Structure 1
Amino acid sequence: MTLDSVKHAAETPDTGQPWAELGLKPDEYARIREILGRRPTGAELAMYSVMWSEHCSYKSSKVHLRQFGEKAPENDALLVGIGENAGVVDVGQGYAVTFKVESHNHPSYIEPYQGAATGVGGIVRDILAMGARPVAVMDPLRFGAADHPDTKRVLPGVVAGIGGYGNCLGLPNIGGEVVFDACYQGNPLVNALCVGVMKHEDIHLAKASGAGNKVILYGARTGGDGIGGVSVLASETFDDSKPTKRPAVQVGDPFQEKLLIECTLEIFREDLVDGIQDLGGAGLSCATSELASAGSGGMRVELDTVPLRDSSLSPEEILMSESQERMCAVVEPGKVDRFMEICEKWDVIATVIGEVTDGERLEIFWHGEQIVDVPPRTVAHEGPVYERPYARPDWQDALQADDAGKLARPETAEELRAQVLKVISSPNQASKSWITDQYDRFVQGNTVLAQPEDSGMVRIDEDTDLGVAVATDGNGRYAKLDPYAGAQLALAESYRNVAASGARPLAISNCLNFGSPEDPAVMWQFAEATRGLADGCLELGTPVTGGNVSLYNQTGETAIHPTPVVAVLGVIDDVNRRTPIAFSDEGHLLYLLGDTKEELGGSAWSQVVHDHLGGLPPAVDLGREKLLAEILISASRDGMVDAAHDLSDGGLIQALAESCLRGGKGARIVVPDAIDPFVFLFSESAGRAVVAVPRSEELRFTDMCGARGLPATRVGVVDGEEIDVQGQFSIPLAELREAHEATIPALLA
């Protein structure tokens, strides 16, 4: 194969190129030729194809994501917002926290273990690149039907990958979700979140400035894994004599990543870098173009100096490889020797592969021949922007008219008891301990709350006990019924979960998982969900700091439910004042906060008992959510409640069961006269929580709720070894525990 140099490309304008095989559209290829004033070289074509892919460029979602900036609430805590590797917020005492959630959906279906493991590795490096020490991870997961044979293939591999990689890094896994639904068959959602901590002065950004500064690639050698991970690249397109069918899923090495983390943190401590970028999606194509694009000059790279573990790789493959555990740093010449010394100390390979120039081009050379000469912004930040057509689907009205309130309800106390057990033992409501026990939740010794608590919480300062809490939530069933409300319900639940633990919500990250953007119905769902989330964040005062969009999650013509996953991060001044979910002291009074209405659309009851999805999701009142959060935070801080649990999927009875089992104490419950016991137990009305109040604090607590206008109804007392819904039924905790804990192990045996 003759090397496709820039000069050769200019001299051979009519040479055919595999742009379609690389996922580019005719107009996109034409635009590349227009930008360059010639046809692209093979290396340039490779770079544009991956960087203009949906995963990297957000070309179908940009026009809607702009709302997160246009509607951003004023928030003094926000230090770094959308556009960097991860957002950063001020949490006080000179500390900053960075967090982000991303997807690794498609790779995790193809190769569950490595797909999930490298999803964790990638998000950890995003956090590291901001200058922070990673301190915790979380994993919101969605799988197909729990009893489907392929779920037994995908789920154990995903869980093992998350646990294997995170445990080896020594990072506690403090929360997440596991949801089963047939709509995710063939399209599991593996979203990964990481939280990192730093001081304000330690924040680093991805930029290449200062002519003469060196570009250093360090970490693992570059291999053939991950090529095509974010596009449809097949390696044989470039050279049929090379090994074909290289794996599209990256292969991770957590021990190499651990060395990379410690090496990078020492480099930061000695102030040796001017700019830094991790290598994730699109590999070197992304790192070089984004660093150059965000800087004040150009960049020259000698690609043949890149350390390889496969000498057969072509230049195009090196640029597109998504091999893991790699970083790219911009270093002043006088600091290069010390940089290299630290890398050698940590047994991390480091190589100067180029330098920052005073020009405006990204130039890449291969054994002296120039193979790339592009304006870096056109690769990294000025890709296509599509205003995809979208329209409310014609089936939406019929779906919403199919009211879940019309479904047959239990007619006797015995039927009600049986349905309670059926819901609590269903795959989505059952204990996930079979999964979470495979994760180390308490490594590092700073985890103070972890699954199955409402939010994960870690201490970030051992002297003052300052901490942060994070929760992730998303209900695809709600979003299918109403994408706008569904996104706001996901936001509200995460916000409520953080507040229930005693932390003050500060900011959000999101992972927006949807079907094909080429389907107008899917784009309508996306547009509505994005609008709902932007409006909701504005009302709650929680800015979007960044996130991820994952599209094309569908099998044939069948898309997944629209699944916006929302992560909320909050701060707590003293983790010793945290509020757990466990009912642990007999005699404590149980209060239900908020209003319970007959809201069953998309509910766990309608799914488990009737296999039904229809009607409208619960109404959203974000003003009420803010008030509830303020009450929960104040009550936690002032010692007025000993336990709190938000109400969401499964309603009050699900929350009671989880809190009783967590604390090993029963509860006597009295159904208020004005409400149907069935609705009381199974309604999924939003803006609610159940709290355990010591008798000594009852007056102070109810006075606070009354003064603030929050409904607070006394519904029972912590007592005994059963849940006794008086006048209806009782269930011994032993029976409840067996029903709650046996389901997942039995399904996956």
Structure 2
Amino acid sequence: MSEADSDHELIVAELGREPTPAEAALFENLWSEHCAYRSSRPLLSAFESEGEQVVVGPGDDAAVVALPSIGGTSEDGSEDGETEGDEDVYITLGIESHNHPSYVDPFDGAATGVGGIVRDTLSMGAYPIALTDSLYFGPFENEHSRYLLEGVVEGISHYGNCIGVPTVGGSVDFHPDYEGNPLVNVACVGLLTEDRLVTAVAQEPGNKLVLVGNATGRDGLGGASFASEDLAEDAETEDRPAVQVGDPYAEKLLIEANEVMIDEGLIESARDLGAAGLGGASSELVAKGSLGAEIDLERVHQREPNMTPLEILLAESQERMCYEVAPENVERVREIAERFDLGCSVIGEVTNGNYVCTHQGETVVDVDAEFLGDGSPMNDLPWEEPTDPETDLPDTDLEDAFDAVVGSPNTASKRWVYRQYDHEVGVRTSVPPGDDAAIVAVRETDTGIDGGTGTGLAISAGAAPNWTVANPRDGARAVALENATNLAVKGTTPLAAVDCLNGGNPEKADVYGGFKAIVDGLAEMCAELSVPVVGGNVSLYNDSVSGPIPPTPTLAMVGTKAGYDAPGLEARSEESSLLLVGDDALERDSFALGGSELLAQFEGTDRFPDLPEAPIDRLETLATVANAESTLATHDVSHGGLAVTLAEMVTADVGLEVALPTDDLAAGLFHELPGRGVIQTTDPDAVVEAFDGVAPVVELGSPTADGTLSITVATEGGDETTVLDRTAADIAALRTVLETELE
């Protein structure tokens, strides 16, 4: 029996009758993989989601986390201690995938992904303050991949810039297995205080359900079920009606109207209209409160004539919110909506009964809301354990390897992407895109962010398809460690994370085995780092005629610190030392290169490197060292290995003279063990002492004034020989491949 047939039998048994057409469509969408997580939910219990800082965990539109009380820094650099009132400052974290829509229509697909995650933020009572985007495409040299890249970036930048929310970070990766199915994962951070918090849990029978925002049209019909199927060869034309069309100017009005309603305490609960449209949002809202609703679909403000009940329920028209409002506050909500030129409909009320929808006096839906939302059976799917690749290392010339890796679109500068985003709007961004992690101000003081006072929030987001192809479980563990290292080298302590778990068709045992492995690996490392995973998103059926995508566990992690300043990643000209910290591989008999960009460029294979033990200790030490006055620059070592880190630290005015601490040049420069950092410091002894018993420290060299990266290696006689010389201009030419090829 097929899944659809068994679902139908279950629904008929529950209802005691055949479902109406509108009910059948609601069940199809809300019980789809996209909404119900039928194949992934059995695995998600692996994540630890609780902690003292967690206010609202998984299951709502966005997670809510309390910021720790962190002392500010006075003008003389001394610690002020705890800031009064810190305990009621919260942030929201959410992440969304818009993968299939972005393949069919890259501009609108990506733009509406931004709109959706921002509305998830609004529904918790928060104001959106930062976005990240993690993007994955097929080979950069392919014309279609570039078409998708350009459309997606344009869609994200257009929507984010128009609504005034800065895009401050993210990642861009290219891999052959995304050719037929790109990924667009967008995360949003919001800011609120304890008294502004609302949730998606309906509160009380008799309260009204009010729809605010754009009028409902026929766009996006069946989007949830579309996202739960493999992409067909003709998807770009046949599935275009399932892609929503965004209106960022309406979203900006909705953001500001929501702010006023929250300020005035008019909202009892809220849910944004995303997957499955009004039917999904309103039924989930009341189901979470173990309540029901009576909704008159004719009251929904519509922009197209003669819409059917099914179309009104399931259309995924954008820029709409469903609010639960006390009867005495309805008129005020209507006034605010009109002030911001937004549509407003009182569509029904919360009840103690079933979820009931009527149209022209006829009942078209009458079901138990909790059964509709949570009644779908989970899938018990077979899976195969992933196997490690055999070792097949290429024989490469060092200079050729350096040029290929540093000039790869995966490791090259992403400036072409992030310069299209307005990352300064909102005047919170202290460390902008292009660094290991962005830092935004979440609590201003009278001196503003230039004074370096208050609390900063660091944000890192991304995954590593090369790593998770080589070893899904350890690759996912490495993704968590690398994001945490990005935060640590900017002097911040990890607070919480959300994930977007992307996989192929789970009905294929090998694909599901890889997906299960990334879930387990990500959960294990986040637990090791004491970072609760407070929410997320699952996107399966990312499969096409060209095959499944790599298992891709995008992680968005945040950390906090006192002050907004952090050492940059570019080397400075002061007299100082360059130290490599945390490179356990130097103490081993051999390096593992699995998952490295070196092997991707030269078609080699190898096992994934063993990750360091007790990583939390080294990250805490790394954060402490990063905040020291003697630290001039910090940069993590991961994608592309030490070669890319050093290349990114060189500037036109400051070069680096480096003595490589191994005679295995290829491995020493290109292995990608995460949890490492390069520190430029005026007090190397203090760094060595700080890491004593925690992680190895190796002195690499020092800065020079010639803007050249010079790498030497010791010979058997104790002399040094130069193995690589690259000027800043040479390196810039390699690293600007995106700008060179796309402009």
The two structures have a TM-score, normalised by structure 1, of: 0.90
Q: 2:470 aligns with which of 476, 481, 494?
A: 481
Contact 2:640/2:671 (CA < 8 Å) preserved in 1?
Answer: yes
Q: Partner of 1:391 in structure 2?
A: 384
Secondary structure at 1:460 match in 2:
strand
**Residue-by-residue CA offset, 1:388-414 (whole Å, 9 max, x unaligned):** 111226xx35xx22x14x32133xxxx
Matched positions, count: 694
> Do structure 1's residue 85 and structure 2's residue 61 form an aligned pair?
yes
Partner of residue 206, structure 1: 200
Cα distance in 2 for partners of 1:646, 1:599 equals 19
The amino acid that maps onto 1:450 is P
1:586–1:719: 8 Å Cα contact kept in structure 2?
A: no
Equivalent position of 2:580 in the other structure: 592
Which of the numbers 695, 715, 730 marks the counterpart of 1:735? 730
Residues 1:119 and 2:105 are matched in the alignment:
no
What per-residue deviation string (whole Å, max 9, x for no partner) do you get for residues 428-447 of structure 1? 11111111111111111110
Structure-1 residue corresponding to 2:496: 507
**Matching residue's letter, 1:611:** E
**Shift of residue 156 of structure 1?**
0.7
The residue matched to 1:26 in structure 2 has which SS? helix
The within-5 A match list for 1:34-433 is 34-68=13-47, 71-72=48-49, 75-92=51-68, 93=86, 94-232=88-226, 247-359=241-353, 361-392=354-385, 396=387, 400-401=389-390, 403-404=391-392, 406-410=393-397, 416-433=398-415
Stretch of structure 1 that moved more, 511-520 or 461-470 = 461-470
SS of the residue 1:207 aligns to: coil
User: How big is the shift at 1:296?
Assistant: 4.2
Rounded Cα–Cα distance in structure 2 between residues aligned with 1:654 and 1:100:
31
Q: Which amino acid aligns with 1:133?
A: Y
Is the contact made by 1:46 and 1:316 (CA closer than 8 Å) also made in structure 2? yes
- The equivalent residue for 1:638 is 628
Which residue is equivalent to 2:564?
575
**SS of the counterpart of 2:600?**
helix
Paired residue type of 1:185: E
CA, structure 1 residues 246+603, in 2 after alignment: closer, same or farther (shift >3 Å)? closer
2:711 and 2:684 map into 1 onto residues whose CA distance is 22
**1:34-65 CA-partner distances (Å, limit 9, x unpaired):** 11110001111111111011100000111001
Kindly provide the CA deviation profile for residues 515-569 of structure 1, in whole angstroms up to 9, marking residues without a partner as x. 1011011111111111112222221111111111111112237211111111111
Deviations 1:320-361, CA, capped at 9 Å, x for gaps: 1110000000010111111111111111111100001132x1
Match of 2:608 in 1: 617
Show the counterpart of 2:643. Answer: 653
- Report the 3-state secondary structure (helix = DSSP H, G, I; strand = E; otherwise coil) of the residue aligned with 2:307: coil
How many Å separate the matches in 1 of 2:329 and 2:290? 20
1-structure distance, mates of 2:618, 2:249: 44
SS in 2 for 1:633: helix
Which residue pairs with 2:232 in the alignment?
none
TM-score, structure 2 normalization: 0.91
4+ long deviations beyond 3 Å: none
Q: Describe the superposition over 1:561-594 as per-residue Cα deviations: whole angstroms up to 9, x where unpaired.
A: 1111111111112113x22212123322110001
Percent identity between the two aligned chains? 38
Match of residue 698 from structure 2: 713
| Residue 601 in structure 1 maps to residue 594 in structure 2 | yes
Check conservation: 1:513, 1:551, Cα contact below 8 A.
yes
Contact 2:104-2:240 within 8 A present in 1 as well: no
2:273, 2:318 within 8 Å by CA — same for their partners in 1?
yes
Match of 2:666 in 1: 678
* SS state at 2:560 partner: strand
8 Å CA contact retained: 1:469, 1:503? yes
Whole-Å separation in 1 of the counterparts to 2:378 and 2:241: 29
Between the aligned partners of 1:507 and 1:574, the Cα distance in structure 2 is 19
* CA distance in 1: counterparts of 2:23 and 2:269, whole angstroms: 24
Q: Is the 8 A contact 1:449 1:458 kept in 2?
A: yes
Instruction: For 1:433 and 1:622, locate their aligned partners in 2 and report how far apart those are by CA, in whole Å.
Output: 34
AA paired with 1:432?
K
User: How many angstroms does 1:596 deviate by?
Assistant: 4.8
Where does residue 238 of structure 1 map in the other structure? none
1:601/1:616 contact within 8 Å kept: yes
Q: Which runs of 5+ in 1 are unaligned?
A: 1-18, 235-243, 411-415
1:148-189 deviation per Cα after TM superposition (whole angstroms, max 9, x unaligned): 121122111101000000000111111111111111001001
Specify the code of the residue in structure 1 equivalent to 2:729.
Answer: A
Is 1:627 aligned to 2:647, yes or no? no
Bigger drift between 581-590 and 295-304 goes to: 581-590
State the match for 1:434 in structure 2: 416
Return the letter of the residue paired with 1:509. V
State the Cα deviation string for residues 90-125 of structure 1 (Å, max 9, x = none): 113121111122110000000000000000000111
1:413 maps to none
Once the 2 structures are TM-superposed, how far is the Cα of residue 675 of structure 1 from its aligned partner?
Answer: 4.0
CA distance in 2, matches of 1:139, 1:504: 22
Please tell me whether the aligned partners of residues 590 and 714 of structure 1 are also in contact (alpha carbons under 8 angstroms).
Answer: yes
> Which secondary structure state, in structure 2, belongs to the residue aligned with residue 585 of structure 1?
coil
Q: Helix, strand or coil for the counterpart of 1:724?
A: strand
Q: Cα–Cα, structure 1 residues 365 and 268, in superposed 2: closer, same or farther, change >3 Å? A: same
- The alpha-carbon distance between structure 1 residues 580 and 245, as it changes in their structure 2 partners (threshold 3 A), is closer
Q: 2:685, 2:546 → 1: CA distance? A: 57
For residue 514 of structure 1, report the CA deviation from its aligned partner. 0.7
Distance verdict in 2 for CA 1:97–1:675, change over 3 Å: farther
Matched residue type, 2:609: P
How far the C-alpha of 1:722 sits from its partner, in A, is 0.4
> Contact 1:147–1:747 (CA<8 Å) still a contact in 2?
no
User: Aligned-pair distance for 1:504?
Assistant: 0.7
